Copies of this chain bind each other. A is one copy, B any other.
């Protein structure tokens, strides 16, 4: 990690891929904030597992999208008390019960990010299947 300015940092991973992170006010914001990165990380980490399970089950898979919202506690440190993720899966034959099980297993059993997040943070999910 290196300093860009008081509200902006540059971070590089071990394979030298770089991103910028900022903590600016919404009207000046150009990058994800650290807390937004947590939401993006858990949503995408579980998505990889969900798609893998859909394909292993040999169900049709066209697309997956998600909308994620984090709710923080009021006092410092303002950690997430809950995270709501809604997955929208495009598939012609994925059953509701399968989608439910795959998402639940991904978030609770397989996703490393989910398991790194505090037990005080409730990770809730919902889903919609688009035929």
Chain A residues with a Cβ under 8 A of chain B = 1-3, 6-7, 9, 11, 13-15, 17, 19, 21, 23, 26, 29-38, 40-45, 47-48, 51-52, 55, 63-68, 72, 76-80, 109-119, 121
Question: Which residue of chain B is the closest to A46 with respect to CB atoms?
Answer: B34
CB-nearest residue of chain B to A43: B1
Contacts A23-B48, A34-B41, A114-B77 hold; do A17 and B29 have CB atoms under 8 A apart? yes
Chain B residues near A43 (CB-CB < 8 A): 1, 9, 11
Q: How far is the CA of A14 from the CA of B31 in the complex (A)?
A: 10
Compute how far the CA of A41 lies from the CA of B77 in the bound complex, rounded to whole angstroms.
14
Known contacts A110-B76, A116-B80; A38 and B40 CB within 8 A of each other = no
Asked if A76 meets B116 with Cβ closer than 8 Å, knowing A13-B36, A37-B41, the reply is no
What separation, in Å, do the CA atoms of A19 and B34 have in the docked complex?
A: 13
Q: Which B residues lie within 8 Å of A40 (CB)? A: 1, 11, 13, 19, 21, 34, 37
